[in-house]
C-alpha cells in the first residue's frame, strides 16, 4: 500500500495561526511606511506652494493678494494656480468677476464660475487626510484644500482678516513683500496644513473637535478679542472648515496660531473670521512652509508662545529651536 503524506488539521491551524501573527506584526510597519510616504507627499505639496508663492512674488513684487472682500472674493491659493501648473483651471476664472452674487445672507455662485469651484487641485490636498475633500453649500459642490495661508498669531484682534489687524503674511487685501517680514523669512510661517471639516449638516452638540468649528455670536465683526471668543458658548457646530480652496473666507483659506497644532478643542468662527488651527493626521505634529521656502514638521508639544511668534511677521521676538 502507498501511504500519502499530508498535513493534519492541527498542523494547518498552527500554520494559519503563525501567518496571522506575522501579519499582525508586519501590519503596523506597513501602515507606518505608508503614512511616511503620505507625509512626505504632503510636505512636497507645501514645498510646491511655497515655491509658487516665491514665483508670484517675483512676478508681482508681493505675495498673493487675497481679495479685500471675503464674501465675494478669491483666496491667495486661487491666485497661485498658474504657478503650480494649473493654467488650464486659471484660464476658466475671470478674477474681475465676483465669486458669489446675490444678497449677503443668501449668496449663490456666479454662473460663469460654477464649473471651477468643484475642481480638485491635487497639490492642495494632503493624502494623509482621510476626510471628505468636497463640501456642499448653496446648492453647489465645492472642492476644499488642506493648505492654509498664514493670517498671523491670532491673539488679541490679530485674528481679524480685515482692517490691517492681522500680523501674518496674508489677510484680506494684503500685498506683503519680503521686506515687510522683519522677523526673518526662516522664522515666519507662509502656509500650514489643516484638516478637512466633518462634512454634513451643522449640529447643536460637538461631535469631533478636530474637524468642527463652533460658531459664536454677539456683536459686530472684529468687536471682540480672541480670548473672549474662545470662551463664548457655541450657537452651533459646523464641519465647513477647509471646504472651499477658491474662496477668501478665513476658515476656508487662512490659518492662525491662537491654538497649538492639533488642539483638542474646536476652532471658533465669528462672522467671516475664525480662530483657525493647524491640524493633521500625522502622528505628533503638523507640516509648515516657512517664508524662505523650507518645509518643517512642528511637534504638538511646541511652546504656544513660540508657535504664535512663528506666525507673526514682525513681532521682534527671537526664536530658539522649534
Per-residue pLDDT tens over the stretch 129-151? 989 999 999 889 999 999 999 99
pLDDT at site 104 = 78
CA distance 69 to 269: 17
pLDDT at site 15 = 79
Min mean pLDDT across 27-36, 54-63, 140-149, 158-167 is at 27-36
Percent of the chain with pLDDT over 70: 94
Instruction: Give yes or no for a contact between 154 and 275, defined as CB atoms under 8 angstroms apart.
Output: yes
Instruction: Give yes or no for a contact between 61 and 93, defined as CB atoms under 8 angstroms apart.
Output: no
Nearest Cα neighbor of 107 from 73, 144, 75, 81 is 73
- State the average pLDDT over residues 287-316: 95
Go through the chain and tell me how many residues it has: 322
Check pLDDT > 70 for residue 3.
no
Check pLDDT > 90 for residue 189.
yes
Hey, which residues does 288 pair with through a beta bridge?
192, 296
Please give the residue that has the higher pLDDT: either 152 or 19: 152
Half-sphere exposure of 162 (CA within 13 A, CB side): 15
Instruction: Give yes or no for a contact between 221 and 273, defined as CB atoms under 8 angstroms apart.
Output: yes
- State the average pLDDT over residues 78-96: 95
CB atoms near residue 293 (< 10 Å): 16
CA distance 85 to 9: 60
pLDDT at site 313 = 95
Check pLDDT > 70 for residue 269.
yes
3-state secondary structure 104-132: CCCCEECHHHHHHHCCCCHHHCCCCCCCC
Check pLDDT > 60 for residue 33.
yes
pLDDT at site 27 = 65
Instruction: Give yes or no for a contact between 108 and 72, defined as CB atoms under 8 angstroms apart.
Output: no
Per-residue pLDDT tens digits for 109-128: 999 999 999 999 999 999 99
Instruction: Give yes or no for a contact between 170 and 280, defined as CB atoms under 8 angstroms apart.
Output: no
pLDDT at site 29 = 59
Output the average pLDDT for the chain. 91
pLDDT at site 16 = 82
**pTM of the predicted model over 0.85:** yes
pLDDT at site 231 = 97
CA distance 295 to 85: 20
Alpha carbon of 181 to those of 170, 211, 310, 319: distances in Å? 11, 31, 11, 14
Per-residue pLDDT tens digits for 40-60: 899 999 999 999 999 999 999
Q: For 180, phi and psi rounded to 5 degrees?
A: -80, -15
Q: Where are the domains of the chain?
A: 9-311
Amino acid at each position: 500500500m502507498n501511504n500519502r503524506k499530508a498535513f493534519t488539521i492541527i498542523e494547518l491551524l498552527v500554520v494559519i495561526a503563525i501567518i496571522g501573527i506575522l501579519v499582525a506584526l508586519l501590519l503596523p510597519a506597513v501602515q507606518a511606511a505608508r503614512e511616511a510616504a503620505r507625509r512626505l507627499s504632503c510636505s512636497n505639496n507645501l514645498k510646491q506652494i511655497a515655491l509658487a508663492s516665491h514665483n508670484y512674488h517675483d512676478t508681482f513684487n508681493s505675495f498673493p493678494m487675497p481679495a479685500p472682500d471675503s464674501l465675494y472674493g478669491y483666496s491667495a491659493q486661487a491666485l497661485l494656480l498658474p504657478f503650480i501648473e494649473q493654467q488650464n483651471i486659471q484660464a476658466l476664472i475671470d478674477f474681475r468677476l465676483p465669486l458669489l452674487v446675490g444678497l449677503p445672507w443668501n449668496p449663490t455662485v456666479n454662473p460663469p464660475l460654477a464649473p471651477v469651484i468643484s475642481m480638485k487641485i491635487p497639490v492642495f490636498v494632503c493624502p494623509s487626510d482621510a476626510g471628505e475633500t468636497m463640501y456642499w453649500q448653496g446648492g453647489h459642490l465645492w472642492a476644499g484644500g488642506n493648505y492654509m495661508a498664514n493670517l498671523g498669531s491670532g491673539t488679541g484682534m490679530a485674528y481679524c482678516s480685515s482692517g490691517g489687524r492681522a500680523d501674518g503674511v496674508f489677510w484680506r487685501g494684503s500685498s506683503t513683500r519680503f521686506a515687510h517680514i522683519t522677523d526673518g523669512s526662516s522664522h515666519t510661517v507662509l502656509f500650514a496644513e489643516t484638516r478637512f471639516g466633518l462634512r454634513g449638516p451643522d449640529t447643536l452638540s460637538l461631535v469631533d473637535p478636530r474637524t468642527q468649528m463652533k460658531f459664536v455670536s454677539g456683536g459686530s465683526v472684529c468687536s471682540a478679542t480672541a480670548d473672549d471668543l474662545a470662551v463664548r458658548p457655541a450657537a452651533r457646530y459646523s464641519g465647513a472648515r477647509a471646504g472651499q480652496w477658491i474662496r477668501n473666507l478665513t476658515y476656508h483659506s487662512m490659518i492662525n496660531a491662537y491654538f497649538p497644532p492639533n488642539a483638542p478643542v474646536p476652532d471658533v468662527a465669528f462672522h467671516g473670521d475664525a480662530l483657525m488651527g493647524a491640524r493633521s493626521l500625522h502622528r505628533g505634529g503638523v507640516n509648515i512652509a516657512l517664508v524662505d521656502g523650507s518645509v518643517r514638521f512642528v511637534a504638538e508639544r511646541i511652546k504656544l508662545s513660540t508657535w504664535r511668534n512663528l506666525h507673526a511677521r514682525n513681532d521682534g521676538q527671537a526664536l530658539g529651536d522649534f
